[in-house]
Every structure is written in C-alpha cells, then in structure tokens.
Amino acid sequence: MSSSTPEPVTLEGSCHCQRVKFSVDSYTPYPYMICHCHADTKTAGVFNCNIMGEYSTLKIKQGQEFVKIYQAKLSETESGTDEKSTVKLSNHKRHFCSECASYLWAYDDRYAQWVYPFASAIDTPLPKPEEYIHIMTDFKLNHVEIPTGSRIHSYPRYPQGSIEEWHKKRGLYGTYTIEK
C-alpha cells in the first residue's frame, strides 16, 4: 500500500482469437467481485468478474470491426424492482468479439466515466485480491457452489459501495504496478 499519489495502470486486453486488442487505464484492477446474474451466467459462463477502467482511456488497438454489443433483456426482478411482468433492456452494454464470442468489456451510460473490462479479457497480470465478493447470488445456477471462508462474502443482489470505494477502503486505489 502506498501513500503517494494514485497512478493508473495500463491494462492490455484481447479476445480469444486475437482479432480484437485493446488497452485501458485503471486505478481499480483487483478482480474481486464475481457476478452470478442470469445474463452473465448465460453469456459468459458460470459467472463473470469485471474490473473498472477510465472510459476516456479505452483504446481499441485492432479489430474494431469485430466488436459487437449485446444488451440483455431483464425482468424487473433482475433489475431490482418487485414487479415481475415487465421486461426492459439492460443499460449494461456487453461488448464482445463477433468472431470468437469473447466478452471484452461492458459500458453503462449511467456511469459514463467508467468502462468495465472483463477480467478474463485482460492479458496484463492482474493482482490477486485478499477477498472475493459473490454478487447476484439469488440468480446463481443450482449446480454452482460458492466457496465459504473468511475471505468469501456473498450478496443476493448488489452490495453497498462501488468498485472504486472497495479499492480506496483497502488502500489499493491506484497502487498496483506491473512487474517488468
């Protein structure tokens, strides 16, 4: 942990087939929050983990023509209200490679400063968090077992606090450097 001025780390990312390559600066590269929502389960696998970057620094270095966007249709139950009969389009725009279907990053207009790269798309070594938070566990698949222990926390929906707040509270905001 450092008491100096926070510095972003530049993260390099790509899809599986290497047609899409991108970079983004992040003050918050710890992949600690694991999502079990229905959309992530169906589109990205058993669960998903994303981190946060500065949207203004996102650079698509190659393959822009292969980047497509998917917006999930959410029932009101998944989006946080109690009404069950209404369906709406998610604000969360998942960007993926149209050739290999790798998820790359997500973007949400409500948080225009940020972009949320999928940790699995990042090629730069990411730091290992001291704890993991499983979110949206109300939607997890039956056959998925969430580990237990003092370093594992679970929430049925979204917990209080942002990715930025989590990093700041632990003294991790802007402190990660890549070993050369």
In a domain, 36, yes or no: yes
Tens of pLDDT along 15-73? 999 999 999 999 999 999 999 988 888 888 777 899 999 999 999 999 999 999 999 88
- On whether residue 119 sits in a domain, the answer given is yes
pTM of the entire predicted model = 0.87
> In this predicted model, what pLDDT tens digit does every residue of 60-107 receive, in sequence order?
999 999 999 999 887 655 555 555 556 788 888 999 999 999 999 999
CATH number reported for the structural domain that contains residue 62 in this entry: 2.170.150.70
* 180: confidence class by pLDDT, cuts 50, 70, 90: low
Tell me whether residue 152 is in a domain: yes
Domain that holds residue 124: 9-169
Per-residue pLDDT, averaged over 100-121, amounts to 96
Residue 23: count of CB within 10 angstroms of its CB:
19
- Please, what is the end-to-end C-alpha distance for the chain in angstroms? 19
CA angle 157, 161, 166 (to 5 degrees): 115
Q: Does residue 3 fall inside a structural domain?
A: no
180 is a domain residue: no
Residue 103 lies in a domain: yes
Q: Is 118 contained in some domain? A: yes
**What's the confidence (pLDDT) of residue 34?**
93
Tokens in use for 12? 């390099």
Average pLDDT, rounded, for the chain: 90
Express each pLDDT in 120-169 by its tens digit.
999 999 999 999 999 999 999 999 999 999 999 999 999 999 999 999 99
